[in-house]
């Protein structure tokens, strides 16, 4: 069983949110702010009163919040600038979240079409490169997303990545050979590698620290729901038309995003002459080699298990060697591609570790549960997608509850609660049979959605709260890479676990899935360790603030 036939890990959520800014506002990450001086060390968390940026963006956010209260009619003299700021804020949120949603949906919607694509172009082992090429291009270009946003402007980079993603999707839909489809899919993956982090930058730039959780709840809900919708939407499109429809659906979506972004998202500030950060070519090359090598090694690991083979050892050695060169170079150069010194901050570091480990919590059910419905219960892709959508109920509840819970007990404690809920919801899945009640399964999936929402959202929020606004581009790129690689590793482990269980039970029978969830339940328990570390880091930071305030 190949990992590429399963759920490709969705791109991480575009995280906390944007605010509308007046036209003259400075770009949230201007080149001047991204000078070498900004990489002198990790950003310590600013007090809440200092979290808002100096640019007028925070004022625009205040206007956006105040606008509904003042919208009581012309008689009370509504401020036109406040109304315009509100509209800009709403449309910026919609565009940024929509861009991330399209890229995340694309990671699961395509998997449903692989069988039909194989019937059209050849063996499934060759068609799997449609998925693999997308993933490799995505992780190869993602490290450059922060630099692109700083060099050319967040809005321009976002628009360009959406346009290229749409062009790549159109090329996929009109492909006449497998080679054309794979090349077009790689183009889409490269665009998605920039689109997802830049959408995060567009959302978070200029956001006051105390408001990050409010919008991250919405963003996290979109991130978690979009992969659940992929199989259902993909199944409907393939049944109604053919394999090409899963790519063609992106064309009108990208067109709408482009029109709104061009017309309503605030333009980037003019570049400061001589203030641009030069491209770290060595850093980009070594980062791409590292991420591609690791992903290829993990994919080979999922096929061959722990046995040593050139397919896994060669990319692993290349990835590790490139990673060592990359880290040493980033810590020594005056203008690094990514500011790795952010990991020196305790809260950021522990939040990033949580994001990596939570790949098991987030991605394993997206592979195992659909396979159980289809292989062990004989359900269609559309029915499976509808059953999986029960998890969306829990995700929505988590989105509503996450911010007040975090405000009251902290991000680390919220992550611990989320993992515990996920473990409790997994217990019924360890006793799966051919007659397990669908009501029980949907209830378990819903509680899992609630638990997952209470893990990913707080971890992402705490990571962004711990850095200064000028470090948002670096943090966005790093966290997206961490989650992507963590998800790939999680899916590889799940694939091996399920393969061995299937061999033991002579097929993908319910008992094989039950055994797999039993082993994964123990893995979920291990993810409590970094969650407790984040809890402790939160409390130490709170104590330090209290001491500084005295």
Q: What is the pLDDT of residues 242-288, one digit of tens each?
A: 888 889 999 999 999 999 998 888 877 766 555 567 888 999 999 99
Provide the percentage of residues in the chain whose pLDDT is more than 90: 21
Please tell me the distance from the alpha carbon of residue 127 to that of residue 533, in angstroms, as a whole number: 42
pLDDT of residue 320: 92
- Residue 277 has phi, psi (to 5 degrees) of -80, 125
Nearest-Å Rg of the Cα atoms of the chain is 23
Q: Taking residues 185-206, what's their average pLDDT?
A: 86
Please tell me the distance from the alpha carbon of residue 251 to that of residue 75, in angstroms, as a whole number: 44
pLDDT of residue 165: 94
* Confidence category of residue 31, pLDDT binned at 50, 70, 90: very low
Q: Dihedral, CA atoms, 392, 393, 399, 404, nearest 10 degrees?
A: -160
Q: Which of 311-325, 359-373, 400-414 has the lowest mean pLDDT?
A: 359-373
CA distances from 416 to 85, 176, 331, 365, 536 (A): 38, 50, 33, 19, 11
Greater pLDDT, 491 or 257 = 257
Name the DSSP letter for residue 374: I
Q: Taking residues 482-506, what's their average pLDDT?
A: 84
pLDDT over 70 at 206, yes or no: no
Q: Taking residues 543-547, what's their average pLDDT?
A: 84
pLDDT of residue 56: 37
Q: Is the dihedral of CA 158, 163, 167, 169 positive or negative?
A: positive
pLDDT digits (tens, 9 = 90+) for 452-471: 888 888 888 888 888 887 88
Provide the percentage of residues in the chain whose pLDDT is more than 70: 79
Return the structure tokens found at 161: 């990545």
Summarize the chain as % helix, strand, coil (round to 5). 80, 0, 20
pLDDT over 90 at 419, yes or no: yes
pLDDT of residue 52: 38
* Confidence category of residue 484, pLDDT binned at 50, 70, 90: confident
Greater pLDDT, 321 or 301 = 321
pLDDT digits (tens, 9 = 90+) for 128-152: 788 888 888 988 899 988 889 888 8
pLDDT digits (tens, 9 = 90+) for 207-225: 666 666 666 666 667 777 7
Q: Which of 40-49, 234-243, 338-347 has the lowest mean pLDDT?
A: 40-49
For residue 466, give every residue at least 6 positions away whose Cβ sits within 8 Å of its Cβ, in sequence order, or none.
43, 45, 345, 347, 348, 351, 541
Go through 99-123 and write b for each residue having 16 or more CB atoms within 10 A of its CB, e for each that does not. Answer: bbbbbbbbbbbbbbbbebbbebbee
Q: Taking residues 436-448, what's their average pLDDT?
A: 91
For residue 379, give every residue at least 6 positions away whose Cβ sits within 8 Å of its Cβ, in sequence order, or none.
373, 387
* Confidence category of residue 153, pLDDT binned at 50, 70, 90: confident
The secondary structure of 111-169 as a DSSP string is GGGHHHHHHHHS-HHHHTHHHHHHHHHHHHHGGGHHHHHHHH-HHHHHHHHHHHHHHHH
pLDDT of residue 46: 41
Whole-number average pLDDT of the chain: 78
pLDDT digits (tens, 9 = 90+) for 75-126: 445 567 777 767 777 788 788 888 888 888 887 788 777 777 877 887 666 7
Q: Taking residues 160-178, what's their average pLDDT?
A: 92
Q: Which of 66-70, 220-224, 307-311 has the lowest mean pLDDT?
A: 66-70
CA distances from 171 to 45, 96, 106, 131, 183 (A): 45, 24, 15, 15, 9
């Amino acid at each position: 069983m190949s990992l590429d036939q399963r759920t490709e890990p969705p791109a991480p959520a575009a995280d906390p949110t944007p605010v509308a800014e007046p036209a003259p506002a400075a770009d949230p990450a201007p080149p001047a702010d991204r000078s070498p001086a900004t990489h002198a060390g990790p950003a310590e968390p600013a007090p809440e009163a200092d979290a808002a940026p100096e640019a007028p963006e925070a004022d625009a956010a205040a206007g956006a919040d105040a606008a509904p209260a003042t919208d009581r009619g012309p008689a009370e003299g509504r401020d036109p600038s406040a109304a315009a700021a509100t509209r800009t804020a709403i449309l910026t949120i919609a565009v940024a979240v929509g861009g991330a949603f399209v890229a995340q949906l694309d990671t699961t919607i395509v998997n449903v079409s692989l069988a039909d694509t194989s019937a059209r172009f050849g063996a499934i082992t060759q068609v799997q490169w449609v998925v693999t090429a997308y993933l490799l291009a995505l992780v190869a270009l993602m490290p450059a997303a922060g630099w692109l946003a700083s060099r050319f402007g967040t809005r321009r980079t976002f628009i360009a990545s959406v346009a290229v993603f749409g062009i790549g999707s159109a090329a996929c839909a009109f492909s006449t050979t497998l080679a054309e489809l794979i090349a077009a899919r790689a183009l889409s993956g490269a665009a998605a590698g920039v689109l997802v982090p830049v959408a995060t930058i567009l959302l978070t730039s200029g956001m006051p620290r105390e408001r990050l959780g409010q919008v991250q709840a919405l963003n996290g809900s979109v991130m978690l729901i979009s992969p659940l919708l992929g199989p259902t939407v993909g199944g409907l499109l393939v049944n109604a038309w053919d394999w090409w429809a899963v790519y063609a659906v992106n064309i009108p979506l990208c067109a709408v995003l482009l029109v709104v972004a061009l017309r309503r998202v605030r333009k980037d500030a003019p570049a400061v002459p001589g203030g641009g950060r030069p491209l770290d070519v060595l850093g980009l090359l070594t980062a791409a080699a590292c991420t591609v090598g690791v992903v290829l090694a993990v994919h080979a690991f999922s096929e061959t298990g722990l046995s040593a083979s050139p397919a896994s050892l060669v990319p692993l050695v290349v990835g590790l060697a490139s990673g060592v060169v990359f880290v040493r170079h980033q810590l020594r150069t005056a203008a690094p591609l990514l500011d790795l010194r952010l990991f020196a901050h305790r809260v950021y570091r522990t939040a990033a570790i949580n994001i990596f480990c939570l790949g098991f919590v987030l991605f394993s059910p997206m592979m195992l549960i659909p396979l159980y419905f289809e292989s062990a219960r004989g359900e269609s892709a559309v029915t499976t997608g509808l059953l999986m959508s029960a998890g969306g109920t829990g995700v929505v509840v988590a989105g509503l509850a996450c911010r007040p819970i975090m405000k009251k007990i902290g991000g680390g404690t919220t992550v611990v609660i989320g993992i515990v809920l996920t473990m409790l919801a997994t217990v019924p899945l360890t006793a799966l049979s051919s007659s397990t009640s669908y009501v029980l399964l949907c209830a378990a999936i819903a509680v899992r959605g609630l638990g997952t929402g209470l893990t990913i959202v707080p971890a992402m929020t705490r990571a962004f709260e711990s850095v200064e606004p000028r470090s948002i581009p670096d943090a966005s790129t790093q966290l997206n890479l961490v989650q992507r690689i963590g998800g790939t590793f999680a899916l590889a482990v799940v694939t091996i676990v399920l393969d061995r269980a299937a061999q033991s039970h002579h097929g993908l029978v319910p008992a094989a899935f039950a055994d797999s969830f039993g082993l994964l339940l123990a893995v979920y328990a291990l993810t409590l360790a970094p969650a407790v570390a984040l809890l402790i880091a939160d409390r130490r930071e709170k104590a330090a603030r209290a001491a500084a305030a005295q």
